[in-house]
């Protein structure tokens, strides 16, 4: 393993922070070495300092590769079931009432490889029964182009679908393709995925529901506040914001009020 010097680690940490807002502390040396070393061997240069310099000089492929390697894409279908029970028992029934064609806009921010967005689609189907005529759009965004490509494909390994889904759910929502599992077409057509940085996101109309789970933990206080300002500005007046179970956000956003439903926490504008 090529070890990273203290100076190189600082240089890389500053660079990753400027691109993503992710804070790499000195104790993340193992992560830098483990994840960036494969890029060294692809490169004609051989040190981390030179790798960083090439990316900074405008090598976009390398920039993307560094972001993909450093960001943690851990996710699964139905990650934290309580959140999806909140959607199926409260938020969706109250929103749609008897009008199943009411338009709804959902944003899965920092969506990783798409499992969260597709899970929302599965829950939606359990409430609305047929997806054909619904006017729901689920937008997934992530800074990692690798993750967004995977989300767009909607094709998963057996090990990925076994995490979080029962056999019945696998049969219901996936088609087997050469030993892999593709999300059903009608479910995929509800979802769109794009590369977008939460710290400088593209302009878009506000959403009814925003899920931004398990990403704030990687940011410092300043970035948390910036992201929460964006999320609150993108929430419709009665909209719902969902964050990760361990993420506490009220001190970063006085505009939000916390609510509970059967052990699941959600936020709304005051």
Ligand X SMILES: C[S@@+](CC[C@H](N)C(=O)[O-])C[C@H]1O[C@@H](n2cnc3c(N)ncnc32)[C@H](O)[C@@H]1O
The residues of the shown chain that bind ligand X, judged by CB under 6 A, are 20-22, 71-75, 79, 110-112, 116, 142-144, 147, 197-199, 213-215, 218
Nearer to ligand X, 20 or 105 (CB): 20
In whole angstroms, the minimum distance from the beta carbon of 259 to ligand X comes to 20
Q: Dihedral, CA atoms, 93, 97, 103, 109, nearest 10 degrees? A: -20
Nearer to ligand X, 18 or 177 (CB): 18
Quote the distance between the C-alpha of residue 219 and its chain's center. Answer: 14
Which residues, 6+ apart, have CB-to-CB distance to 114 below 8 Å? 140, 147, 150, 151, 152, 154, 183, 191, 193
Nearer to ligand X, 116 or 125 (CB): 116
SS3 230: helix
In whole angstroms, the minimum distance from the beta carbon of 28 to ligand X comes to 14
Nearer to ligand X, 140 or 239 (CB): 140
Q: Dihedral, CA atoms, 145, 107, 260, 86, nearest 10 degrees? A: -100
CB 151 within 8 A of CB 113: yes
In whole angstroms, the minimum distance from the beta carbon of 55 to ligand X comes to 16
In whole angstroms, the minimum distance from the beta carbon of 16 to ligand X comes to 10
Q: Dihedral, CA atoms, 218, 220, 226, 229, nearest 10 degrees? A: 80
Nearer to ligand X, 22 or 124 (CB): 22
In whole angstroms, the minimum distance from the beta carbon of 111 to ligand X comes to 6
Integer Cα distance of 196 and 238 in angstroms: 25
Nearer to ligand X, 64 or 96 (CB): 64
**Edge to edge, what strands does the sheet with 174-177 contain?**
155-156, 180-183, 174-177
SS3 256: strand
In whole angstroms, the minimum distance from the beta carbon of 144 to ligand X comes to 4
In whole angstroms, the minimum distance from the beta carbon of 130 to ligand X comes to 27
Tokens at residue 166, please? 């029962």
Nearer to ligand X, 111 or 123 (CB): 111
């Amino acid at each position: 393993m090529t070890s990273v010097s203290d100076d190189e680690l600082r240089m890389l940490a500053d660079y990753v922070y400027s691109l993503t807002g992710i804070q790499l502390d000195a104790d993340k040396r193992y992560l830098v070495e483990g994840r960036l070393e494969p890029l060294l061997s692809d490169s004609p240069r051989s040190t981390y300092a030179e790798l960083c310099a090439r990316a900074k000089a405008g090598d976009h492929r390398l920039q993307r590769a560094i972001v993909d390697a450093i960001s943690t894409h851990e996710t699964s279908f139905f990650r934290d079931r309580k959140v999806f029970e909140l959607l199926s028992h409260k938020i969706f029934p109250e929103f749609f009432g008897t009008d199943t064609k009411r338009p709804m806009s959902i944003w899965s921010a920092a969506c990783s490889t798409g499992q969260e967005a597709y899970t929302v689609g599965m829950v939606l189907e359990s409430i609305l029964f047929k997806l054909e005529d619904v006017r729901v759009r689920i937008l997934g965004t992530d800074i990692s182009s690798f993750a967004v490509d995977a989300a767009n494909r909607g094709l998963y390994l057996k090990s990925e679908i076994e995490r979080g889904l029962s056999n019945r759910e696998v049969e219901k929502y996936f088609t087997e393709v050469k030993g892999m599992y593709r999300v059903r077409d009608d479910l995929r057509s509800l979802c769109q995925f794009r590369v977008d940085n939460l710290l400088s996101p593209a302009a878009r109309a506000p959403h009814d529901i925003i899920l931004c789970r398990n990403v704030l933990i990687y940011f410092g206080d300043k970035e948390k506040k910036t992201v929460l300002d964006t999320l609150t500005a993108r929430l419709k007046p009665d909209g719902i914001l969902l964050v990760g179970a361990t993420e506490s956000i009220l001190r970063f956003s006085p505009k939000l009020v916390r609510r509970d439903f059967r052990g699941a926490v959600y936020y709304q504008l005051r």
